[in-house]
Amino acid sequence: MLSLRDHRTDARRLTLRALPAVLAAVALLVTPWTSPAASAHGSTADPVSRNYGCWQRWGNDFQNPAMEQEDPMCWQAWQWDTNAMWNWNGLYREGTGGDFQAFIPDNQLCSAGHTGDGRYNSMDNPGPWKTSGIGANFTVDVLDQALHGADYLQVYVTRQGYNAETDALDWGDLELRATTGTYAPASHYLVNVSAPGRSGHHVVYTIWKASHADQIYFFCSDVTF
């Protein structure tokens, strides 16, 4: 039989042995909510982008198994890489020299050409993404948390006949509907867009050239006209 003293020693050893695992668990719990603030960038707030929308809807509830049925595209995105969700504001590509089409092949438009070591690849998958309802004339609102400014914004909209549920986005699926000039640093950049002759599920593809660096953001937003 163990004496009382032995019991205590064993308990202490067990605690020490478990400490690294406990610390790792705490770090996992804390990291998700601290990392987004550490790197402020931006995304399309309206109509909300795929990554920003999945973070808004599920960021506080990302382990809820109901997501698989209620919001399957967000579910697959969370399963692919939670860092794409915590870093919903970091979907950009650097070093293109402005020639972004050369760096972003067809079927990879929503991940900015598998940027960030493939972190955002789940954004490319076609399917029943949640959509925002819009009319033929709408306003795109880009959120700039870091006050980078904008050299320009471009807004593309998919052509009528494109099937967002089955077809990953290609450059040929898109029609350029708005190009802007520069914006001084601000929290929100608004772009008025007209995209007549469309119905059903479409994708609004917004490109934001930040002014502080060779850094271009690419956002897919699902809409219903």
Binding site for Cu ion (CB under 5 A): 41, 146
Based on CB atoms, which residue is closest to Cu ion, 145 or 224?
A: 145
Based on CB atoms, which residue is closest to Cu ion, 146 or 168?
A: 146
Based on CB atoms, which residue is closest to Cu ion, 146 or 178?
A: 146
Beta strand pairing status for 132-133 and 215-224? Answer: parallel
- Rounded Cα distance, 143 and 120, in Å: 19
Residue nearest to Cu ion (CB): 41
Based on CB atoms, which residue is closest to Cu ion, 70 or 214?
A: 214
- Output the smallest distance, CB 146 to Cu ion, in A: 4
- Output the smallest distance, CB 51 to Cu ion, in A: 14
Angle, helix 72-80 to helix 50-58, in steps of 10 degrees: 90
- Output the smallest distance, CB 116 to Cu ion, in A: 13
Beta strand pairing status for 215-224 and 92-94? Answer: antiparallel
- Output the smallest distance, CB 82 to Cu ion, in A: 20
Q: Where are the beta strands (DSSP E) in the chain?
A: 42-46, 92-94, 132-133, 137-144, 150-158, 174-179, 188-194, 201-210, 215-224
- Output the smallest distance, CB 83 to Cu ion, in A: 16
- Whether 40 and 89 have beta carbons less than 8 Å apart is answered as yes
Based on CB atoms, which residue is closest to Cu ion, 41 or 202?
A: 41
Tell me the two tokens of residue 77.
Answer: 């995105």
Instruction: Answer left, alpha or beta for residue 211, where phi above 0 means left and psi between -120 and 50 means alpha.
Output: alpha
